Every structure is written in C-alpha cells, then in structure tokens.
Structure 1
C-alpha cells in the first residue's frame, strides 16, 4: 500500500483518529473527513486510491442507507474508484448488498488491526490485474462516431495546440470533463498538470483560498501554506467546471486573476504569476445569465475565445449503442461478468429513450443492468429507466415559453415537497439555476 492515498469518511472523530494512526504507517497519505457532504468536493479536487466509507452518519440511524447513497454517488462520478464500506451495524445481507452495489469489501467495527490491513491490501492486489481506468489510457477519451461528435472532435483537434481559452457548453452528463481532459491530452501542455476545480462545490468563504491559495495562519485552520488551483496548474491546464455557478460578488476577483495572469494568496499582498491554459464549462444558459446581469459580460468574453457546444446524447444517434457497448465492457470487467452484448429489443429501447441525464445516465443504467441481470445477454427486462422530468402530460393554459417553464417548476417543486436539491436533480439543472428561476417567477 506504499505510495497510495486513502480517504476515510466517518462522523466519529475517535474512529477517524484511530484509523489514521494505524494506516499512516502503511499509506503515503491518509485524509480524514467527518462530513459526508464534502465528498463531492473531495472527489472533484483530489485523487484517492481507496475510500473507507462509514454507512451511518445520522444519530440513532443504523440502516446503512446513507452509506449506500454515498457509495452510489462516488461510483457514479468515478466508476473505477475503490470503496470499502464499514459500520458497527452490519450483517450478511448488508455485506452482500454492499458488494453488489460496487463496494470492494465490507468491514465491521470495531475492527482487528491485522484484518483491516489485510482487507485494504487485498484491494490493491486485485487491482494489479486490472486494466487502467479509461482516463489513464493513452488513447482518445472520447467515444463517438456521430456527425455531431465528429464536428466536436474536429474543433478540438484544431484548437488544442493553441493556448486559446475554451468554454464548453452542454447539458449535465454530456461529458464536458472528458472533453477538457482530451483537449489537455493532445495539447503541448499534456506532460504538465491538469487541474480540475469544481466551482459549484466551492463555498463563497473558501473561494479565494481554493483558487488562489493561502498563507500559513491566514485564517483559522490555515495550518500551513497552500497553493491554489491556479498555481497548481502552472504550465498545464486549469479546468474551471460549473463556472456559471460563481456568485456575481466573486466574478470580479476571478476576472482580475484571468486578466492579469496573477493571483494573490489569502493572507498576503504579493501577486504571484501563473501560466495555465484555461478551459471552462457550464450547463447554465450563460447568455441568459448575462442578459439578466447575473453573469459578467466581460468575464464571458474572457473565457470563451473558443466555444464548444456538446450535443445531448439523444441527438447523437448510433453513439448511444456504441457507448452502451463500451460501458458493458467496462462493467463486465469490474464485476467479473461475461455478458455478451445487447438484445435487439434492448437496442431499440435505448435508441428510443430521450436520455435526460445524457451519457452519465446511460453509464449508470448499464452498470445497474450488469449487476442485476442473471442472463447471458442484456435485455429490456434488465432496465428500470425513469421517465425524464416533464415527460408526463400536464394541462397548460398557454404556449408561452416562460409560462410553461413556470408551470414545470411549480409541478416539480410540489412533487418533492419544496426540496430544492431533489427538484433541481429531477429537472437536470443546478440548485443555483433553480433558485434563480424561482426568484424570476416570484414563486
């Protein structure tokens, strides 16, 4: 396990400290986190060889459902991520469910130190025989032969060798992160860092620290000097994901850094230069945001020297089956299955479905099908695809776009009893975007 990084997520500080004390002698780096809500940020900004994940975070709750939720979230974001679940309230049924859901193993607390180390080490022994994850392969990261994707790939090949700022536009799940990595891979900066900063997961209070860095003692918990994302990406590529979510109050600071190619660390007054190729991405209607004056026009001009629009999966024709086969190969290997292809009926169903969650949704349903099927070939019965938001027919009194949008928002909020997080997921937009529409329609 030498040279490996591990993340431990548990709400019990004593458990975290005990595990860290044991594992720090065996891992290169041991990170601990008591708040599972920080998992999205950690996944987007750091690489972990293994995640040790508790299954219960709420007081007096021991169902394990929270652990399974975060396991699904982690593997949805990073399908090849190694995750081991551990809990004080476990049984055989829960262990089997954990493995079926994609966990590498299942550990009961309190653990025996030797058994803990043996279980963790076994994960890496198994991984020695696996192929490398897709993003580490020397080949192209992009799967697609449709005319729409050929146009995208042609544009990528044309601009990758330049240092032009690029803005990627497209719905959630269309693969903007993969496109950014592909641009970096074929650019002259490919041997330098590719740094991913998810601006949608960075709080306003930590925005400057995360992007620009901070000096030791700059604020509480600033125990050591830290480089920000801009400096980490020096000579390489900086990918600012979900840039449409940056609050207006912080956009001027971001613009200043991009214009001057310098950052000022929190706690200092000294500008520090950086040399990074900038790629930004958003699923927001960014030009509407500019018209609404919630996104600075000068910042938009700065980040979109080249603009690339990614087509939704429903418009990519035969790419749907190409991707489905690609994901089938991945999950056959991951779960040691030998499923041979897709039935004709299933292919027809996949082609007819509108895929509101795009490539990410297709990847998820293929993984689920591989896990649950008992047949040698995937068929229609293996899929439980949810209807997209707004696909149900509901009465409207107008054909005005704004009024239709308002009715859809009201309907979705009612469905989830006003839960903004669930409603935004259902509609395929960010929480911030839903908040803006609620304010727009005075709901």
Structure 2
C-alpha cells in the first residue's frame, strides 16, 4: 500500500464485518485482518451481523453463504437495502458456479471458495477496499475541487488582500486550527478553501457546514453523527461531518451560532481527537483540521457568556482577517470585470465592458454586502443590459440604493442634506431644474441619457406639459 493509504488506516482503520459460523475459519479470518491493521468484528449468525450493520459504520462485509439462521444471499440483499454502496464478499465451501453468478448478479463484489489460501483472501480484501477507498476519495476530491476551483478564486491586489494571502500561505502547510473573521459576503469560505487546498490535506475531503443554517436540535447529529434509532427520525446510522472530514478539513461557518451544549462536545473532539456519535457507546479517532469563521467579535461573545472561552482559544490559534470590500480600493474594478466575464460566459451574453461612469459608481459605492452584493449587482446589470457596454443610465434599476457620488448640479438652498439614493437624487434634480434646462442639457447634467430621463419622468408622473401631438411624437422617438 502507498504511504497515503497507510496514513489513512492509522487515522481511521477500515472496519470489516465478518459473519461466519465456523469457529476455526472465524478465528483465522479475524487474525488475518487484525494483523493487517483492519478493525474486524465477527458474528456467527446473520441476525447479530445485520444488527451490527444497522448500528455501526462498516467499510466491508464478508459473509458465509450458508448460516444457521439465514443465507449469505439474504444478508447481501439486506445489506444493499441498508447500505447500497457497501461492498460484500461471499464465502462458501460449496463450489457452485450457479451460486457465484447469482451472488455477483445481486451485487457481491467477489466470491471465495473455502478453504482459501491466506494470501488469496487478503489480496481479495485489499483489492476491494482499495477500490472503495479510491471511489470515496475521488467523490470527495471532485466535490471539493468543484467548490474551490470551479469558477471561484481570491482576486485582489490591495495591501489587505496581499497580507491575507501571505498568512494563508504560511498556515496552509500546518495542521493548526484557524479562525477567519470578516463581514458577511467578504469570501471567508474561499479563504478556508485556500488554506485546505494549499496544504498537504488537499487530496482529502473539504467539508463545510453553516452552523446557523442547521436547526439547533439537528446540528449535533450533523456534526458528530448518530446511530440508527438514537432519536425520532434516525432511520439509519450517520457517520457525521467530523468523521467525513477525517484526514481533511471541516469548515465551520458562522461558528458563533453553535449552541453552547454542542460547543462543549466540539471542544472535547478538538482536544482528544475522538468523536462519539449520538446514541453510540463507541468513540472513533478522527484526524480533522478545524477552520472556523464568523462575522462577530468572538472575544466579546465570550465575555457575554454566549460563546465558550475555552473553545474560542482552541479555534483561535491563528486568526485571519478578511478585509471588507470598501477597504480594497482598486480590487472593486478587478472583481467587477471578473464577474462580468464569468456571468457573460454562463449566460451566453456578449458584453464587452463597462462605461467609465459605471466603473466610477462601483468604486465609490460603500458595498455593505461586500463581494456577494457586487456579484449580484453585476449579474443583474448583465441581464438588463440593452447594448454591449454596461452604462449607468441603462442600469438604473440594477444598481443598489447608494450615496450619489457622481457630479451633478451645484447644491442650492433647500437641497436635502445627507446622503441620497440615485433615484432620490435624479427625482429631486428633475423637480428643481426641469424648468431651467432643456431635456438634452438636463440629461447631460445628470449624467444619463435622454431616454433614461424620459423614462424617469414618465414613471414618476413628471412629464412636461406638452400638447398631445408633441407627447405622441416624443413617445414614438423614445420607444
């Protein structure tokens, strides 16, 4: 086996369930598997074996074809109903090609004739487990890679982003727990993914959970797992996300939302590297790296006793601060162009760029929703675009309510004080200046096109008092 496989077995020995009623063969199989580092459990009847299968996680099932209370084919059928992906090897003393074909057709992965050679037996077991391990790791890796490198990446050249990237590079190669802090929408999960995929755990699972999105009565079983029947609704055994992430990284987003009773249990897992599923009597070793994120001040939460101080110190070995978008200067235009290209490609639209006025607005808007808000604005603007360039007048309805930053008519007595939205600004200016400027000059003064000015007037009932024929002619021109 490879070094990675050996390390995997040390982290969590693969568990093999054996159902064999011959005491001599049962002892021999148990000894062979145990000396290879597998966690082997042996039963001499089908009922006990199936009960164990329903209550515990199993990586491979080996069963005799003839048992005192059932048959191996019945065990195979029951296991497929309970765990469809569980590989099953059947053993028999009766060399029957018909039975072998029937077993393989019903889902068995191999068929051994007793008495078998020890090396032949171990080769079959190790081959099946290696294939199972490869499938499991490939599924996790594909899922993780899609999330981390599908179309999302950390973009930026500001000093704050450079400092953040340097810290990510420093901690990625370690197993240290990390706390990521930053406002909502700043990209904290991207930082967690960069930490995971930048280190030695990159080929192992990256598992993420939003602690605030799971009901408080379910979060414990989601994290730690549960055995079948542990509570109402637990119709099957669940391994839990901590054990699923073993060897890799578990990202705990919105960690401040974790209930206090679950915080206690999580602290024990971090300290002892052992996890006990809900309703179980057995504990399991786990080699999971924990990366947590929050938009709150966890230190203040500990002072108000809403977050455990001991868990905070365990998670806060290294802190990475994600800067808000308003502090990232030129990164706003870089991100906007990235989202423009990405969503045009996804939507099949041809937008070649953004007007200077549109870019100026993006730069000066404070972006309280950070990168998430910017991406949403860019997607809406692309969908609403009428030409091949995003311009401010055409994208009026796509833009967020923001402080008016563009140049406009000089302030005069009676102007509202304080920040105004773009809509308020244009409405106020039309009311104040429409009798002093012609439409062409007023549109130029507001920085919008004549069509946009006309549409605003019509929407707000501010059309100039013209004759019916002139209005109809203007409507035809603007349609």
CA distance in 1, matches of 2:305, 2:195: 31
Provide the rounded CA distance (Å) in 2 between the counterparts of 1:194 and 1:356.
29
- The 3 A distance-change label for structure 1 pair 151 and 201 is same
Corresponding residue to 1:334 among 337, 343, 346: 346
d(CA) in 1 for partners of 2:167, 2:211: 25
Q: Is the 8 A contact 2:208 2:251 kept in 1?
A: yes
Higher Rg = 2
**Superposed displacement of residue 135, structure 1:** 3.1
Q: Which of 132, 135, 142 is 2:154 aligned to?
A: 142
Aligned to 1:118: none
| Cα displacement (A) at 1:375 | 1.3
Query: Equivalent residue for 2:400?
Result: 385
The 8 Å contact of residues 181 and 319 in structure 2, kept in 1 or not, is answered as: yes
Aligned counterpart, 2:257: 245
**Residue 197 of structure 1 pairs with residue 212 of structure 2:** no
Inter-partner Cα distance in structure 1 for 2:263 and 2:337: 42
Change (3 A) 1:292 1:387: farther
Separation in 2, partners of 1:230, 1:133 = 21
Whole-Å Cα distance in 1 between the matches of residues 245 and 225 of structure 2? 12
Q: What's the counterpart of residue 266 of structure 1?
A: 278
Match of 1:321 in 2: 333
Structure 1 regions of 5+ residues with no counterpart? Answer: 1-27, 30-131, 395-443
- Looking at structure 2, the residues matched to 216 and 133 of structure 1 have their Cα atoms a distance apart, in angstroms, of 32
Q: 1:272 to 1:224 in 2, by over 3 A?
A: same
Separation in structure 2 between the aligned mates of residue 133 and residue 229 of structure 1, nearest angstrom: 19
The equivalent residue for 1:343 is 355
* Distance in 2 of aligned mates of 1:208 and 1:294: 18
Could you tell me how far apart the structure 2 residues matched to 1:166 and 1:201 are? 21
Tell me the distance in 2 between the aligned counterparts of 1:256 and 1:229: 16
Match of 1:375 in 2: 387
Mapped partners of 2:353, 2:299: distance in 1:
42
2:176 to 164, 169, 189: 164
Contact 2:148 2:194 in 1 (8 A): no
CA distance in 2, matches of 1:179, 1:222: 34
Distance in 1, matches of 2:215 and 2:283, equals 23
Residues 149 and 258 (structure 1), Cα distance of their counterparts in 2 relative to 1, 3 Å cut: same
CA distance in 2, matches of 1:220, 1:349: 54
Note if contact 1:140-1:182 (Cα within 8 Å) is conserved in structure 2: no
**TM-score w.r.t. length of structure 1:** 0.56
Q: C-alpha displacement at 1:384, in angstroms?
A: 2.1
> Which residue number corresponds to residue 76 of structure 2?
none
Separation in structure 1 between the aligned mates of residue 147 and residue 212 of structure 2, nearest angstrom: 25
Cα distance in 2 between the residues matched to 1:332 and 1:182: 25
Matches within 5 A, 1:37-436: 135-137=148-150, 141-381=153-393, 382=395, 383-387=398-402
Q: Paired residues, what number?
A: 261
How far is 1:249 from its partner? Answer: 3.2
Following the alignment from structure 1 to structure 2, what is the Cα–Cα distance between the partners of residues 305 and 257? 16
> Do the aligned partners of residues 393 and 260 (structure 1) sit closer, same or farther apart at CA in structure 2, a change above 3 Å counting?
farther
Question: Does the CA-based 8 Å contact 1:327-1:363 persist in structure 2?
Answer: yes
Taking the aligned partners of 1:372 and 1:140, their CA distance within structure 2 comes to 23
In the alignment, the residues of structure 1 paired with residue 384 and residue 364 of structure 2 have an alpha-carbon distance, to the nearest angstrom, of 22
Work out the CA distance in 2 between the residues paired with 1:262 and 1:200: 24
- Consecutive unaligned residues of structure 2, counting only runs of 5 or more, are 1-83, 86-144, 404-416, 420-479
Paired residue secondary structure (2:252): strand
